[in-house]
Amino acid sequence: MQLQDILYSQGFGTRRVCAGLAQQGHVRVNGRVCADASERFDAVDGLDFEVMGQAWRFHASAYVLLNKPAGTECSQKPSTWPSIYTLLPAPLRQRPQKGAVQGVQAVGRLDQDTTGMLLLTDDGQFIHRMSSPRHHVPKVYEVALKHPVDDRQVRRLLDGVVLDDDPKPVRAAACEATGELTLRLTLTEGKYHQVKRMLAAVGNRVEGLHRSRIGGLALPPDLPPGGWRWLGPDELALLKP
């Protein structure tokens, strides 16, 4: 693969911009300045390079994990709060169009005040597989409540509650009280404000919401709020439905 195509595929700008970056001596591959934009590299997966001092590793598809902080919106065009996309480096946002997806996109959305695990990718099929209720990917939420939680509320969440816009009940795949005012809830679908609406339906109120796990992958404790990192093949395997 030519150097300019490598840079283009990773989101460093148009092919012309990428060629210019190389020609101006701004690109290093494995530590060596490469000024020839047409220089070819084989086995590009995992290739380490630098663009204007920014270290990057080639990934044919991007799968990343973000620890979403409170006060951010999962929208490219947020209405009130900063967008989660501003937490990611520009190349991830600028990766060229692949199918219907341009740049990395969030796999589902979390509310502005919800924190925790959010996946982003430029792989449209992965987004579809992870989001489709047919695939039953479990998502675990740690919920802080306004009122003490009791056995009856837990039972109702497991048996199913009716939300205003849909006569079909929605149920938690798992639910356990983790304290007087805290609950761990597992859902396999992702309706709008689902956790908050389910808790409201049983007479309680969500005061704080954190997503701690998706499929077999837990939020790594060393990833701070606002931090992101690439997902490795082992982690992806834990996620796949």
Query: Could you tell me the smallest distance in angstroms from the CB atom of residue 4 to ligand URA?
Result: 40
Query: Could you tell me the smallest distance in angstroms from the CB atom of residue 100 to ligand URA?
Result: 24
Per CB under 6 A, the segment of 16-24, 56-64, 107-115, 216-224 that binds ligand URA is 107-115
Structure tokens belonging to residue 69:
């902080």
Number of residues that bind ligand URA (CB under 6 A): 8
The CA-based diameter of the chain, rounded to the nearest angstrom, is 69
Interatomic CA distance for residues 153 and 170, integer angstroms:
14
Residue whose CB is less far from ligand URA, 192 or 230: 192
Residue whose CB is less far from ligand URA, 5 or 111: 111
Burial class, 5, CB count within 10 angstroms (exposed 0-12 / middle 13-18 / buried 19+):
middle
Q: Hey, which bits of the chain come out as E strands?
A: 27-29, 32-33, 48-51, 54-57, 63-68, 105-106, 115-121, 139-145, 161-163, 166-170, 174-179, 182-187, 206-214, 217-218, 228-230
Query: Could you tell me the smallest distance in angstroms from the CB atom of residue 111 to ligand URA?
Result: 4
User: Given 5, 36, 42, 111, which residue is catalytic?
Assistant: 111
Residue spans of alpha helices (H) in 12-76: 15-23
DSSP character at residue 95: P
Residue whose CB is less far from ligand URA, 171 or 196: 196
Closest Cα to residue 60, out of 239, 236, 227, 238?
236
- Using CB under 6 A, pick the residue from 193, 205, 229, 240 that binds ligand URA: 193
Contact call for residue 189 and ligand URA (CB under 6 A) = no
Residue whose CB is less far from ligand URA, 183 or 209: 209
Per CB under 6 A, the segment of 13-21, 91-99, 108-116, 150-158 that binds ligand URA is 108-116
DSSP character at residue 67: E
- Using CB under 6 A, pick the residue from 22, 195, 214, 231 that binds ligand URA: 195
Per CB under 6 A, the segment of 13-21, 163-171, 194-202, 217-225 that binds ligand URA is 194-202
- Using CB under 6 A, pick the residue from 51, 84, 119, 209 that binds ligand URA: 209
Residue whose CB is less far from ligand URA, 9 or 114: 114
Catalytic, 45? Answer: no
Phi, psi of 197 (to 5 degrees): -70, -35
Interatomic CA distance for residues 38 and 19, integer angstroms:
8
- Using CB under 6 A, pick the residue from 67, 114, 153, 204 that binds ligand URA: 114
Interatomic CA distance for residues 228 and 218, integer angstroms:
14
Interatomic CA distance for residues 225 and 69, integer angstroms:
5
Query: By the criterion CB under 6 A, which residues form the site for ligand URA?
Result: 110-111, 114, 193-196, 209
Indicate which residues carry an active-site annotation.
Answer: 111
